[in-house]
Amino acid sequence: MINFNKIVQNFREATKALRNPQSFFCGQLSEVDINKLGAKHYPLVYLEPGNVNIDTGTMTYSFTVYVLEQTLNEDIEKQDFFEGVVNNFEDKRDAVGDTYNFTLNILKDLISTFKQNLSDVVGNPAYPVDVLDKEMIIQIPINAQPITMQFDNVLSGWTAEVQVLVNNKNNLCTAPIYSV
């Protein structure tokens, strides 16, 4: 049976199987100390748990997936400003645009890994067999939105609401209840 921890593990393994993401984190985004992450952690995939809908025979887990990359360093911005670099605004806009393009491709690859369940690809070392559970279904379409966040650094990328559908046996015989 697929549970919360197993879904998170599948996201972690799918992220590891991709070439570009350097790290994976899971939890409430408000609890992470983005400021302590160094450049070696980017681009990163961050999985934020949401609601779970429990239905007869199925459970639907909701997650917000963030794919983020460092865009600008605050020290560089200040240096550019004080040195009067020409086209500073255009340079920043281009950097954010490039980051959006790069991180959207990572998000698409992550979604494809789940949707097409590339664990069936035999002989491809990038997608080891049995990386993902075949009992998980990612619901399509997925709406992604660009995001830019300011911390000690500037992070840009995409956020997407993802729904993962799994079986739920609803079996009272296996519930840990005390007999009366």
Q: 10-residue block means of pLDDT along the chain (180 residues)?
A: 90 88 87 66 92 93 94 50 43 74 93 69 51 78 91 84 89 67
Residue 74 is predicted with a pLDDT of: 47
Residue 86 is predicted with a pLDDT of: 37
Question: Does domain 4-174 bear CATH number 3.30.160?
Answer: no
Residue 142 is predicted with a pLDDT of: 94
Joined together, the tokens standing for residue 123 give: 């002989």
The greatest distance separating any two alpha carbons of the chain, rounded to the nearest whole angstrom, comes to 79
Residue 70 is predicted with a pLDDT of: 84
Q: What is the distance between the alpha carbons of residues 159 and 16, in angstroms, rounded to a whole number?
A: 19
Residue 16 is predicted with a pLDDT of: 87
First vs last Cα of the chain: how many Å apart? Answer: 28
DSSP structure class, residue 125: T
- How buried is residue 12: exposed, middle or buried, by Cβ count under 10 Å (0-12/13-18/19+)? middle
pTM for the model:
0.77
Query: CB-based contacts of 89: which residues, under 8 Å, 6+ apart?
Result: none
